[in-house]
Amino acid sequence: MSGPYARTAPQPDPRTPDPRTPGTGAPHEAADDPARALLARLDGLRGRVSALVEQRAAGDPTADDPLRGLYLSEEAVRHLLTTWGALTDDGTAHGTGTGTGTGTGTGTGRAVGGEHAPGDRLARLAGRADLTPLDVAVLLAALAPDVDRTFEPLYGYLNDDVSRRRATVGLALDLCGVPAQSAAARARLHARAPLAALGLLEVAEPERPFLTRSLRVPDRLTGHLLGDDTPDAALIGLLRPMPAPLPADAAAEPFALRLAALLESGPATVYLREQREGDGLAAYAAALRAADLEGLCCAEPGGHVAELLREARLSGRALVVPELPEAPGPLLRALAAAPDVTVLLADPRPYDPHWFPEDPLVLEAPGRRDGGTAAWRAALGGDADGFDLAAAVAPYRLGGDRVRRAARAARALAAFEGGPDGPLTAAHVRRAARRQSASGLESHTRRIRPAVDWGDLVLPEGPLGQLRELALRARHRDRVLGDWRLSAGGGRGRGVLGLFAGESGTGKTLSAEVVAADLGLDLYVVQLSSVVDKYVGETEKNLERIFTEADRTDAVLLFDEADAVFGKRSEVKGAHDRYANMESSYLLQRLESFEGIALLTTNLRANIDEAFTRRLDLVVDFPFPDAGQRLALWRHGLAHVPSADGIDAAPLARDFELAGGSIRSAVVTAAYLAAGRGGEVTADDLLEGARREYRKAGRLVPGEGRW
């Protein structure tokens, strides 16, 4: 910027208050105005520049040479100095700027610029970054031309080259009153010294002799010292806003308070291992709010670590990295080189000591339990009063601001379906919450979005009650296993595991879909063809990917025809038996630590290893339907099908012993026959459908040609 002291600037209106003059009501009069504080420091620097110009002119035999510096005449320099003096109240520059540096690199007395003014950001930065008075003086000399253009020609004169209008190393040391031969003073400009290492000053033009190298101050630092808090342009697209903390549950709130106390005590480096994506960021947001601090959040720093650390240092914020790259070592080592900045890291991976030269504080991020009802209620407000919110969100363990995003999505769904004033329902909340879950399972599974309910099941009371209990366990596992301390220990997870056993077509897969629908979750069916591998160890790797992703996803995992991977271990008679037993042993161990909901189906319960059944929460036996249940299944299948009047399915239920899946197939066959002729389903269509199911099974058709 040109500044108020530029020779080319228009003369100010006498009625316009001088921004440097106290008591005029000017914008810079505010007690904490950073620009005014910086201008006050530059007033002191002017005095030192004036003195140095006088000294050079007095003893320079070429001072009158019109080509000196190609060229800046003595008259022009005198004019600049006169202009500076006229801009002060008493005709002289504010402060003498004597800069009594001792040559030791620390300086004594007043550094260039005089006393600290209110709102002096440079003073605060010096305190946070542990800068010496000499560092501050050099920094001020380097940034002066970026704040006030009238320094440029004078720096050109002092550099003996009017084209070099920035401070050089030699000129900065001269302005600070430090001998150019002082090793300690020169060391303050080395790459590992605070000014360069912290990204506050660049010593440019390395090909030049040291004393003639230019000093450059990043534009971001200059803007900050003038009161501009716009982030560095290099960080555009990398920064994300810190989420506003939602109410924490009973487990997370004490953790946030302890973490806040740590952050208040000074710079710290913390690594939170999170179970679910967003748990770490949510914990940091709550802790920062409790400590009355701000966070600078960047998910993918890439090659901009220096800019991020500088931004955090200038703003006094904690640097929050909620996602680490696949190989985090280089990033973390770069962050560890800034002990003056609080660095908060989060990742689902366990901490590896090779990542850091010195270990950070490693903690487990608390997850939201029982769905985080308090957080949901805060996000939804009064819109959630029309239904049982706790029951609706119990199956979900969304972390971070996923709850807030799901709440916005739920409101949008309600407005789309019911108009601007449409009521928010539990169904809207569940649909929105499902969309916030990760979908990494789909590489090895098939997703089913349930479209059924309990009314679609035709089962005896025993199995039906067990299925409802399974959904109940999924909702209240955190309370029973966590709050009531009924976990078996030994590192076991809080997963819910169930086995559905019964003949083909008895409703095992449909029941899994109903349970998922009741919980408001998607059902993921494991594709065994993409899991089982002939190469040793590959099956376990594929299963581990599925279990790891299922732990992080709000979903129900279904192993259909589980005999293939959960079968009995056998006596080892060869290499094949040994490796097959290893797969079973791995699964036994992995089920112990599983945190999600997994259901297994089998046509023959005896095929499942007893060690698996001991680890299951429920084993539900699906009996073959009797005549009464078969009649209910026929009627349920025909509920939405246009049928001829007077159809009686009782003879079909009595004469054809079909499971529920076969009855549905028979109804589908009858429906196609009716659709083909453009009419309604008749008794003959149903009979033909039932007969085809018998023939498919290779069974003798009862009453062939008579019924």
Read off the pLDDT of residues 443-452 as tens digits, 9 standing for 90 and up. 778 999 999 9
403-407, 586-590, 653-657: segment of lowest average pLDDT: 586-590
| Element holding 474 (H helix, E strand) | helix 461-477
State mean pLDDT over 167-176.
95
pLDDT band of residue 587 (cuts 50, 70, 90) is: confident
d(C-alpha 218, C-alpha 157), whole Å = 24
Most confident of 294-303, 396-405, 660-669: 660-669
Assess contact for 305 and 333: CB atoms under 8 A. Answer: no
pLDDT for position 225: 95
pLDDT band of residue 606 (cuts 50, 70, 90) is: confident
pLDDT band of residue 490 (cuts 50, 70, 90) is: low
Residue 93 has pLDDT above 60, yes or no: no
Residue 17 has pLDDT above 60, yes or no: no
| Element holding 18 (H helix, E strand) | none
Q: Which of the two residues, 208 and 56, has the higher pLDDT score?
A: 208
pLDDT for position 597: 94
Residue 233 has pLDDT above 50, yes or no: yes
620 by DSSP, 3-state: which?
strand
Residue with tokens 């945190």: 595
pLDDT for position 114: 43
Residue 188, classified by CB atoms within 10 Å of its CB into exposed (0-12), middle (13-18) or buried (19+), is buried
d(C-alpha 548, C-alpha 30), whole Å = 56
Return left, alpha or beta for 95; rule: phi > 0 is left, psi -120 to 50 is alpha, else beta.
left
525 by DSSP, 3-state: which?
strand
% of the chain exceeding 70 in pLDDT: 82
pLDDT band of residue 126 (cuts 50, 70, 90) is: very high
Residue 511 has pLDDT above 70, yes or no: yes
pLDDT for position 108: 35
d(C-alpha 456, C-alpha 453), whole Å = 6
Q: Which of the two residues, 465 and 481, has the higher pLDDT score?
A: 465
Residue 458 has pLDDT above 90, yes or no: yes
| Total number of residues shown for the chain | 707
The two three-digit tokens of residue 264, written as one number: 């208040």
96-105, 470-479, 569-578: segment of lowest average pLDDT: 96-105
pTM greater than the 0.85 cutoff: no
State mean pLDDT over 162-182.
93
91-100, 197-206, 208-217, 322-331: segment of lowest average pLDDT: 91-100
For the chain, the average pLDDT equals: 83
Residue 671 has pLDDT above 60, yes or no: yes
Distances, alpha carbon 510 to alpha carbons 72, 502, 657, in Å: 90, 13, 20
Residue with tokens 């914990």: 283
Most confident of 4-13, 325-334, 572-581, 664-673: 664-673
Q: What are phi and psi of 536, to 5 degrees?
A: -60, 130
Residues 135-150: tens digit of each pLDDT? 999 999 999 999 999 9
